[in-house]
Amino acid sequence: MKDFKEYIATSLAISEKRELLRNGTAAPKMREQCKMKAFDAVTWQAALLLEARRKLVTSANSQTKLDKAQATDTGYANRGLTLSSAMEARPFIGGRFTACFGATVSCALACVGSQTGQGALPSSKIARIGRTLAMHVDMKHFNALLDCEIESERMRQAIFGFKLAFRFNVASDHWRLATECAKRNKLVKFYDYSAIPNAAYEHARQIASGNASWDSQPYVQRVYSRKDGPKSDLIARAMLKDGFGISVVFDIKKGDTLPEFWNGSPVIDGDVNDLWFLRAPKDSAFVVGLRVKGSNKQKQQAIDSGFAVKVGA
């Protein structure tokens, strides 16, 4: 939900900056944006994106999990769209806006897309929020630019013999938008994580109806992302029982081995690279296992809340 006053102020500021760019005003560099007030920084970023002065697609070498897939012999190049996580963009969109309807306090604090590693840098936050604002103020143009970048990357990778895998929600959970994007880009493999059960069931319903196979396109292959709290835990266990895939964060240190099974289902290592769909069983339940990440404080908070599962629990 958008607050009219805040959203209009943001939209007007972006329009004004787009006009300045068209009239020859020099585009501010990111180091300059990092010194600006937050409102000016993110509205400049949105304007730059909508005027095609900055890229929408997150490249492999700017996001660790995407980069790992590129570095392995998977046959895929891995790219994504890193929008704002949870409530990051709320001050500029207003109302009760959230980019992750299934987010909890614990997962938001330990989000690998925004709160750890490179995602915690001020420049990364400006880029994420700028993309989100650009998407909201001019969705049609945003989608056209995004589709152009995705197709350009797909063709570029094809020259080198790679297919293109795309994660629409690196730090967000806009599952319907991801599905729409997949339908517009039918030659690209889309995958995602979602804390929204209906989103996780979507691809499975297509398979059950006979309209899709496990690896067919243009559907988004998703796993349900388990969060802290008894409700999410019950949903995760029920989805495994029904034969679907889920992701679970474990209280395990970097480099230590993940459990072989969780709740009776095999665990595949989601930290090897992000392309878990290449290693997942195609006809039974599975768990994408992830090690808890972040600072010591972030890790402890995730453990205490139950977001990070202790082995054997």
What's at 21, amino acid-wise?
Answer: L
Q: What are phi and psi of 174, to 5 degrees?
A: -90, 75
Identify any residues that bridge with 268 across adjacent strands, giving them in sequence order. Answer: 288
Residue, of 43 and 306, whose pLDDT is higher: 43
> What residue ranges do the domains of the chain occupy?
4-309
* Largest Cα span, the chain: 62
Question: Taking Cα atoms as reference points, which of 211, 212, 177, 178 lies closest to residue 192?
Answer: 178
User: How far is 228 from 305, CA to CA, in rounded Å?
Assistant: 6
Range 224-249 average pLDDT? 93
For residue 259, whether the previous peptide bond is cis, meaning omega lies within 30 degrees of 0, is no
For residue 218, whether the previous peptide bond is cis, meaning omega lies within 30 degrees of 0, is yes
- Give the pLDDT score at 168: 97
Task: Give the 3-state secondary structure percentages of the chain, helix then strand then coil, rounded to 5.
Answer: 45, 15, 40
- Give, for 268, the enclosing helix (H) or strand (E): strand 265-269
Average pLDDT of the residues of the chain:
88
Question: Taking Cα atoms as reference points, which of 51, 7, 8 lies closest to residue 26?
Answer: 51
Kindly give, in sequence order, each residue whose CB lies less than 8 Å from that of residue 260, ignoring residues fewer than 6 positions away. Answer: 266, 267
DSSP secondary structure, 59-119, as one string: PGGGSHHHHHHHTSSSSEEEEEE----TTTTHHHH-TT--S-TT--HHHHHT-TTTTSGGG
pLDDT band at 31 (very low <50, low <70, confident <90, very high): very high
pLDDT band at 117 (very low <50, low <70, confident <90, very high): very low
- Lowest-confidence segment of 118-132, 138-152, 200-214, 253-267 by average pLDDT: 200-214
User: How far is 273 from 70, CA to CA, in rounded Å?
Assistant: 9
Residue in the structure block whose two tokens are 């139950």: 306
pLDDT band at 61 (very low <50, low <70, confident <90, very high): low
- Lowest-confidence segment of 57-61, 210-214, 242-246 by average pLDDT: 210-214
On the question of pLDDT at 2 being above 50, the answer is: no
Range 251-262 average pLDDT? 90
Question: Taking Cα atoms as reference points, which of 270, 262, 216 lies closest to residue 241?
Answer: 262
Range 240-247 average pLDDT? 92
User: How far is 302 from 106, CA to CA, in rounded Å?
Assistant: 6
- Give the pLDDT score at 106: 64
On the question of pLDDT at 60 being above 80, the answer is: no
- Give the pLDDT score at 87: 87
